[in-house]
Amino acid sequence: MGWDLLVITIAPFVVSLVCWWAPVALGRALTLASGLLSLGLALGLVTARTTTAAAGWLRVDALSVVFLVAVTFLYAATSIFAIGYVRPGGDGTVTTRYNRRFFAGLNLFAWAMAMAPLVNGLALLWVAIEVTTVVSALLVAIDGTDGATEAAWKYVLIASMGLGIALLATVVMYYAGSSVFGAVHELFYPKLLGSAARFPPEVVRLSFVLAVLGYGTKMGLVPVHTWLPDAHSEAPTPISALLSGSLLAVSFYAILRFYQIAQRAIGPTFPREVLLAFGLVSLAVAALYLARQRDMKRLLAYSSIEHMGILAIGMSFSAPIAVVGVLLHVLAHAAAKGTAFFGAGSMLRKFGTKDMTRLKGGVGALPFSGPMLVLAVLGLCAMPPFGMFRSEFLIVSGGLADRHDALVAVLVVLVLLATLGLTWFSTQTMLSPTAEGVLRGETSLWIVGSMVVGLVALAVLGVHPPGQLSDLLRRAAHELGSGA
Amino acid sequence: MVPLLAATAPPPVPSSFSGGAEAIAVLVLLSEFAMLRAPLSRSQVRLYAFQSLAVTALAFFVAATQHVPELYALAGFSFLLKVVFVPGIVLRLLKDARVDLVASNRLGVATMVLLAIALSAFAFFVVGRLPVRSHSLPTPALGLAAAVILVAFLLVMLRSDVVSQAVGFFSLENGVSVASLVVAAGLPLIVEVAFLFDLLVAVVVFGVLMRVHHGRTQSLSTDVLDRLKG
């Protein structure tokens, strides 16, 4: 048992090494194969029970599988997109060397993100997330422009400081554990969860707050989000998609692991209040900043902060339906934000700019990816029939079931405000008449294909999520102690 | 409420030892203060090496008094990495860049030090109120570790050059190391090694980005990094 976990642990890493020296075409093909293989194995785990491998150092339960699916889905979709987006010999910046470094980095980044939900225990979780930081910081800087260098420096500095605090949270949780297990233990989840009720409450409380602050830095919670818009807008577009759709989710996963322990040790009230405070501030700030963005990728970055705020608020509701909604939201956000970034990448390739005041007539110029970008933006605004409509609907009904009526009203108003900001500029950019001299046509069919994949997944999540997936979400919500 | 550790703790450490350990922990904090105000990038890096040496000494101390043989290996690793390798890399970078003095104080030296003292006092007293009992090091060392972490944040915020900011992050990690020696000395070796390996990778990435930054701007100041906002 557990061979599938080992394959996901090994495949992207090996492909990353191969990409360093293999011919570019082989590297691309292997990246695609590894992405599809990882996604297939992750989907195979949807119906599986809790699985362990590698002497207990790897372990997936329902909660991990939800995040593993989000990461591997975007890994697969991005590897399709990257084949069309990063083309050798296009404008002179994409050399063979760039190609090798890019695809090696892409696989390594995806590998580190997949490791985070796969590993067993808070310590290795921290290690995996720190690896995502260093790999993705280099990928943000890979274009070598002034903006990319500045964004990468801010990102690596702020995220590393945040993860320093997360490491402190891990150490403090270790201390809480050693009051039960004695001085030496491994911070494995089953042990921690089994005995959390006997941990000293003040210490767990401290550890939880430090964890939310530390991992919240990587998740993009306000006020520790400041690296996020810069890194998302300056990174190469495939990396932006992974940063936004998977990396933020993985950091949220780390917070959920602390939440799981904290709510068994000190009850759910305090962790929920902490998440609610961060979530509300994040949602409010993002909704206001969305209205003043002129850079297309920056706009999408603020939309990510908005959705991370919604996730945190959703976790503060006690109704199980809200927690199911939060987990579905993670999957839907991966699909929708990935597709939207792919569309932004298509626009960037076509027009050579992300400045929305100069972008006009996207739908006219790009017959397929243009309309699909509009759909993805509508998906991000939680319009039916897309997955986010369903997930936000579940979160809101959970809040109403909880009798948090005023809070739900604030949530809905802020989401509407964000919708306004997001749709205003994107529709102006996309639906205005196309300028003279712009040829109608797609830049790459691979880009179109990746967007089709993302939109289909998003629609499936919204219209009729498969029974096994709904069951998985319910089991994961149960693991998070919802209904308690 | 008192953790079980207190009950299972070995006989109390002789007081001269605990006094020595506390003195070393104070040195860790003092070197953080010195980094905050040191004008030369080179001396900041040397202070970091000194601070790492003090942290390594604490690890040896815990290994000897608690009979945790793995900690010897860990202390050895951390000596090689944090006292030799990291400062070596940054000093070499400084030599190549031929820049040593970067005017980077956002506040006057006196104001910075006063702020640092206030934050340290805050950390020390807040942590003192936590129900934490250590059996490996004197418990006040935890308050000192928290103070190191907060002053490291000040260093990153108040000095606008890449060397200060990188050294700020590295010394934050030293603060967390001291905290983990106080409350988590039994952390499994494989986990500790993974932490150190991560630090190593982070150092390489900081080094690469510092080089890129210097290559583009011919300076180590971060004041030019102001294009992206809003």
CB–CB contact A130 B202 (8 Å):
yes
- Per-residue model confidence as pLDDT tens digits over B219-230: 777 777 777 777
**DSSP notation for A100-111:** HHHHHHHHHHHH
Q: In this structure, is residue A291 part of a structural domain?
A: yes
Q: What angle do CA B108, B111, B117 make, to 5 degrees?
A: 140
Output the pLDDT for position A294: 86
A126 neighbors A116 (Cβ within 8 angstroms): no
Name the minimum distance, in Å, from the CA of A324 to any CA of chain B. 33
Enumerate residues 126 to 165 of chain B having a beta carbon within 8 A of any beta carbon in chain A: 130-132, 135, 149, 153, 156, 162, 165
3-class DSSP state of B229: coil
- Per-residue model confidence as pLDDT tens digits over B97-118: 777 677 777 888 889 999 999 9
Q: In this structure, is residue A457 part of a structural domain?
A: yes
Provide, rounded to the nearest whole percent, the portion of chain B with pLDDT above 90: 25
Name the minimum distance, in Å, from the CA of B225 to any CA of chain A. 6
Task: Confirm or reject contact between A54 and chain B (CB < 8 A).
Answer: no
- Per-residue model confidence as pLDDT tens digits over A437-479: 788 888 889 999 999 999 999 999 999 999 999 999 999 999 9
CB–CB contact B228 A172 (8 Å):
no
**Token pair in block for residue B118:** 């206030």
Q: Which residues, 6 or more positions from A245, have their beta carbon under 8 angstroms from its beta carbon? A: A70, A74, A333, A334, A335, A337, A338, A341
Name the minimum distance, in Å, from the CA of B211 to any CA of chain A. 10
CA distance A32 to B214: 36
**Domain that includes residue B37, residue range:** 16-217
* Number of structural domains found in chain B: 1
Q: In this structure, is residue B227 part of a structural domain?
A: no
Ranking A37-51, A378-392, A409-423, B102-116 by mean pLDDT, the lowest is: B102-116
Task: Confirm or reject contact between B172 and chain A (CB < 8 A).
Answer: yes
Other beta carbons within 10 angstroms of residue B77's beta carbon come to 18
Q: In this structure, is residue B29 part of a structural domain?
A: yes
Q: In this structure, is residue B187 part of a structural domain?
A: yes
In a 13 Å sphere around the CA of A273, the CA atoms on its Cβ side amount to 5
Average pLDDT on A44-72 reads 91
CB–CB contact A161 B8 (8 Å):
no
Name the minimum distance, in Å, from the CA of A205 to any CA of chain B. 11
> What is the rounded average pLDDT for all residues in chain A?
91
CA-based nearest residue in chain B for residue A143: B212
Task: For A420-442, give one letter per residue: b (16+ CB within 10 A) or e.
Answer: ebbbebbeebbeeebeeeeeeeb
Q: In this structure, is residue B138 part of a structural domain?
A: yes
Q: In this structure, is residue A426 part of a structural domain?
A: yes
Q: What sign results for the dihedral spanned by CA atoms A379, A380, A382, A388?
A: positive
CB–CB contact B225 A292 (8 Å):
no
Q: In this structure, is residue A388 part of a structural domain?
A: yes
CB–CB contact B209 A137 (8 Å):
yes
CB–CB contact A123 B194 (8 Å):
yes
Average pLDDT on A404-414 reads 93
In chain A, the largest separation of any two C-alpha atoms, in whole Å, equals: 74
Task: Confirm or reject contact between A288 and chain B (CB < 8 A).
Answer: no
* Number of structural domains found in chain A: 1
Q: In this structure, is residue A280 part of a structural domain?
A: yes
How far lies A108's CA from each of A104, A132, A186, in Å?
A: 6, 8, 26
Name the minimum distance, in Å, from the CA of A401 to any CA of chain B. 36
Enumerate residues 75 to 94 of chain B having a beta carbon within 8 A of any beta carbon in chain A: none
Instruction: Please indicate, yes or no, whether the overall pTM of this predicted structure exceeds 0.90.
Output: yes
- Per the listing, tokens 């400045």 go with A355
Out of B179, B185, B206, name the one closest to residue A168 (CB).
B179
Q: Which of A134, A145, A230, A356 to mutate to test the interface with B (most CBs of B within 10 A)?
A: A134
Q: In this structure, is residue B110 part of a structural domain?
A: yes
What residues in A contact B225, CB-CB < 8 Å?
A: 150, 153-154
Other beta carbons within 10 angstroms of residue B64's beta carbon come to 13
Q: In this structure, is residue B230 part of a structural domain?
A: no
Q: Which residues, 6 or more positions from A461, have their beta carbon under 8 angstroms from its beta carbon? A: A328, A331, A332, A335, A386, A387, A390, A391
How far lies A303's CA from each of A129, A220, A230, A326, A350, in Å?
A: 22, 11, 13, 16, 23
> Where residue A88 falls among pLDDT bands split at 50, 70, 90?
low
A463 neighbors A341 (Cβ within 8 angstroms): no
- Per-residue model confidence as pLDDT tens digits over A352-382: 888 888 888 888 889 999 999 999 999 999 9
In a 13 Å sphere around the CA of A402, the CA atoms on its Cβ side amount to 25
Out of A127, A144, A152, name the one closest to residue B195 (CB).
A127
Q: In this structure, is residue A433 part of a structural domain?
A: yes
- Per-residue model confidence as pLDDT tens digits over B5-17: 444 555 555 577 7
Enumerate residues 72 to 111 of chain A having a beta carbon within 8 A of any beta carbon in chain B: none
**Domain that includes residue A410, residue range:** 269-484
CB–CB contact A206 B195 (8 Å):
no
CB–CB contact B184 A179 (8 Å):
no
> Where residue B217 falls among pLDDT bands split at 50, 70, 90?
confident
**Token pair in block for residue A24:** 């570019």
Name the minimum distance, in Å, from the CA of A227 to any CA of chain B. 10
Q: In this structure, is residue A345 part of a structural domain?
A: yes
A358 neighbors A428 (Cβ within 8 angstroms): no
Q: In this structure, is residue A408 part of a structural domain?
A: yes
Task: Confirm or reject contact between A141 and chain B (CB < 8 A).
Answer: yes
